Amino acid sequence: MIETVLETQGLTKYYGSALAVDHMDLKIPRGCICGFIGRNGAGKTTAIKLMLGLLRPTAGSSRLLGCDSAALTPAIRQRIGYVAEGHRLFRWMSISGLEKFQRAFFPKQWDDKLFADMIEYFGLPKKQKIKHLSNGQRAQVSLALTLAPNPELLIMDDPTLGLDAAIRRQFLEGMIELIMRQGRTILFSSHILGDVERVSDRIVVIDKGVLRADCKLERFREAIKKVILGFEDSVPAEVDIDGLLHCRRSEKELELTLVGTDDEKIAEWANSAGAEKYTIVKMNLEDQFIEFTAPANRRKLFQWEEI
């Protein structure tokens, strides 16, 4: 049986009367890299803080490594790494100073070699104070500090925000390095969907606080597609195909975005609608995400998915 390392049940958070996370039921299996995506204000940071027990839910619950988030024991906390949005580090400390400080919290599990290797890999000056580092360098220090205790579960909130493409690539390679060690799990939020596509094997999509997808990346990638149909005369007035997300019309063409509609069904529909020709167009993750979370569409998907 697949082990779940992170699970939420009906997780809900209101800030005053504003609903930020709405009855979220989520399951993350051990050993995956899971991209957590959603538009600005969708509720990612709130959900992450709830999962870590840093915020109290209005309703529902979550469990990390089998332990209720509201009552994470020090022993469980030591098995979890968290990179907060913005990489908040003590600005007056040097990298070496921070290393010593952080190591004291993880006396048994701190991996000196891993920390030293990462600092060298990123080319960081160990004696430099945090306040004299660039944003990217702070992100790298933050990742090294989080990885050195060998966390079993790593949760990162927009860890590559503001980093250039090359540094992001290094950062993501660092993540992959971690996951290659058996049994490690990563959940990370990001707005850079090319990165999510490159490194994730699962994705979670949240939209206005509502969980819209929780599935294997491959499943999401295969499920959302665009079909362009050409008609000799005019396009049909009604489009009644299953899984329709969006329909754009021109005089002789229909452009449909569909979810979960298999190619056979598309062929059948194209035939019955009298299309002269049709093409199924491959979309990248960013286009799929934009179509999937467009305001007109509030379809809930993929929660049936096996984990």
Residues that bind ligand ATP (CB under 6 A): 15, 18, 20, 38, 40-46
- In 3-state terms the chain splits into helix, strand, coil percentages (rounded to 5) of 30, 30, 40
* DSSP H or E run through 22: strand 18-29
Strand partners, 15: 18
Token couple for 83: 């990179």
**Shortest distance (Å) from residue 84 CB to ligand ATP:** 11
Nearer residue to ligand ATP within complex by CB, 46 or 170: 46
**Shortest distance (Å) from residue 167 CB to ligand ATP:** 20
Query: CA dihedral in degrees (207, 209, 212, 213; nearest 10)?
Result: 100
Please state, in angstroms and rounded to a whole number, the distance separating the CA atoms of residues 167 and 169.
Answer: 5
Nearer residue to ligand ATP within complex by CB, 207 or 291: 207
* DSSP H or E run through 296: none
Nearer residue to ligand ATP within complex by CB, 44 or 216: 44
Nearer residue to ligand ATP within complex by CB, 210 or 239: 210
Which phi and psi angles does 219 have, rounded to 5°?
A: -65, -45
Please state, in angstroms and rounded to a whole number, the distance separating the CA atoms of residues 39 and 193.
Answer: 11
Position 189: which residue type? S
Nearer residue to ligand ATP within complex by CB, 51 or 95: 51
Please state, in angstroms and rounded to a whole number, the distance separating the CA atoms of residues 273 and 37.
Answer: 36
Angle at 51 (CA atoms; ends 46, 53), nearest 5 degrees: 95
Please state, in angstroms and rounded to a whole number, the distance separating the CA atoms of residues 15 and 39.
Answer: 18
Strand, coil or helix: 52:
coil
**Shortest distance (Å) from residue 216 CB to ligand ATP:** 22
Please state, in angstroms and rounded to a whole number, the distance separating the CA atoms of residues 247 and 158.
Answer: 32
Position 4: which residue type? T
